[in-house]
A = this chain, B = another copy of it.
Amino acid sequence: MAQSVLTIDLGAICANWRALAAMNDGETAAVVKANAYGLGAAKVAKALADEGARTFFVAQAEEGVSLRGALGSGPKIYVFGGHMDGDADLIRQADLVPMINSIDQMLRHVEALPGHPFGIQLDSGMNRLGMEPAEWSALREIALSQNPVLVMSHLACADDASHGMNEFQLQTFRQMTDGIDAPRSLAATGGVVMGAAYHFDMTRPGIGLYGGLPFVEARPVVSLSIPVIQVRDVNPGESVGYGNSWVARVQSRIATISAGYADGIIRAMGPKAHVWAGETRCKIVGRISMDLIGVDVGPVKDMPDRVELMGRHQSIDTLADAAGTIGYEILTSLGTRYARTYIST
């Protein structure tokens, strides 16, 4: 077996969902877009539905179709990207609820699927998805008369609770929506953590379910175990890996492990990242290759057959720091070559 094993703890995901749900009084949905942040939308959503989640969010109608196939009828599936040209059949057949992002999308929706449920996405300052305040003013009365099932917006800086943008967006969202009858939603994981003012009628955690910051108390969800192919002695002056970027200064012992950037182990993390051989932290040496990584195992006494890149000793956020990115990208980058094992603890 040169195949690495990625273990995904559905029990931890459910526990994280319960913990986030306990922090607010409204409904707690679950964001399972991007294949549940790379962890498998079908399995994750089914586990969360069994746990009591009734509403799921995806990014694109195509994802919604796939998710509907996994969940069957019953749970609500909302689509952040809204109603795109060509989506009508998907939305109708899979019973999806598009979040309408613009007047164009609104016209498209009522023309193609009159009476079909929809939500409204508003831009409260992120300038990414949703209607601008002026656009919303023009459309508001007509849209509300059609009974949107949800009116929502999204925070740009909720990973940093102290950022002034949060309060600005909260006030903007309130100005745009105070007094309407439709249920409202503003908070993803960061907003849940920031407290009741951000919760409204529904929260939509994503990264917190999967064990990532800014939900500090999250239970870890993924672990990755990588087989060792071989171990060699490297003399001072010899180099390891592509481009001779690492040169041994002392007599060294180097393990070659069977995973690489093709498995989503982001190449940029090479100079700063570590793996764990049993209880020993071992530095990655040389450039991360497509399928292979060199590791300095000099300090290891009893060399194991496998090493751990993430799991008990190391979180997705630690890896993200090494790669200069965020835990979200560590998860969504996880490749397709792993043996994926689902457990529930």
Interface of A with B (CB < 8 Å)? 1-3, 33-35, 37-38, 59-63, 79-82, 84-87, 101-102, 104-105, 123, 125-129, 132, 156-157, 159-160, 163, 165, 227, 229-230, 232-234, 238-244, 254, 256, 258, 260-262, 264, 266-268, 286, 289-292, 294, 305, 324-326, 328-329, 332-333, 335-337, 339
Closest to A231 in B: B102
Which of B81, B229, B262, B264 touches A129 (beta carbons < 8 Å)?
Answer: B229
Complex contact B258–A227 (CB within 8 A): no
Which B residues touch A165, using CB under 8 A? Answer: 239, 244
Assuming the A-B contacts A126-B241, A230-B104, A230-B105, are A35 and B336 also in contact, with contact meaning beta carbons closer than 8 angstroms in the complex?
yes
Closest to A98 in B: B2
Complex contact A294–B127 (CB within 8 A): yes
Selected A-B contacts with CB under 8 Å, 15 pairs: A2-B79, A34-B337, A38-B262, A84-B258, A85-B305, A101-B230, A123-B232, A126-B242, A156-B242, A156-B244, A157-B242, A261-B332, A262-B332, A268-B268, A332-B335
Complex contact A230–B102 (CB within 8 A): yes
Which B residues touch A160, using CB under 8 A? Answer: 243
Number of copies: 2
Complex contact A227–B84 (CB within 8 A): yes
Task: Give A330 Cβ to nearest chain B Cβ, in Å.
Answer: 10
Which B residues touch A126, using CB under 8 A? Answer: 239-242
Complex contact B292–A128 (CB within 8 A): yes
Which of B86, B291, B332, B336 touches A33 (beta carbons < 8 Å)?
Answer: B291
Seed contacts A59-B290, A157-B243, A333-B333; 7 additional CB < 8 Å A-B pairs: A1-B87, A2-B84, A81-B258, A102-B230, A123-B232, A126-B242, A128-B289
Where chain A touches its partner, the secondary structure class is loop
Which B residues touch A82, using CB under 8 A? Answer: 2, 229
Which B residues touch A229, using CB under 8 A? Answer: 81-82, 84, 101, 129
Which of B159, B227, B232, B291 touches A80 (beta carbons < 8 Å)?
Answer: B291
Assuming the A-B contacts A156-B243, A262-B38, A337-B60, are A238 and B127 also in contact, with contact meaning beta carbons closer than 8 angstroms in the complex?
yes
Assuming the A-B contacts A2-B62, A87-B1, A337-B63, are A268 and B128 also in contact, with contact meaning beta carbons closer than 8 angstroms in the complex?
no
Assuming the A-B contacts A84-B1, A230-B102, are A128 and B61 also in contact, with contact meaning beta carbons closer than 8 angstroms in the complex?
no
Which B residues touch A86, using CB under 8 A? Answer: 1
Which B residues touch A238, using CB under 8 A? Answer: 125, 127
Assuming the A-B contacts A290-B328, A336-B35, are A132 and B1 also in contact, with contact meaning beta carbons closer than 8 angstroms in the complex?
no
Which B residues touch A335, using CB under 8 A? Answer: 332
Which B residues touch A332, using CB under 8 A? Answer: 261-262, 290, 335
Closest to A294 in B: B128
Task: Give A32 Cβ to nearest chain B Cβ, in Å.
Answer: 12
Which B residues touch A258, using CB under 8 A? Answer: 59-60, 81, 84
In the docked arrangement, what's the CA distance between A254 and B130, Å? 13
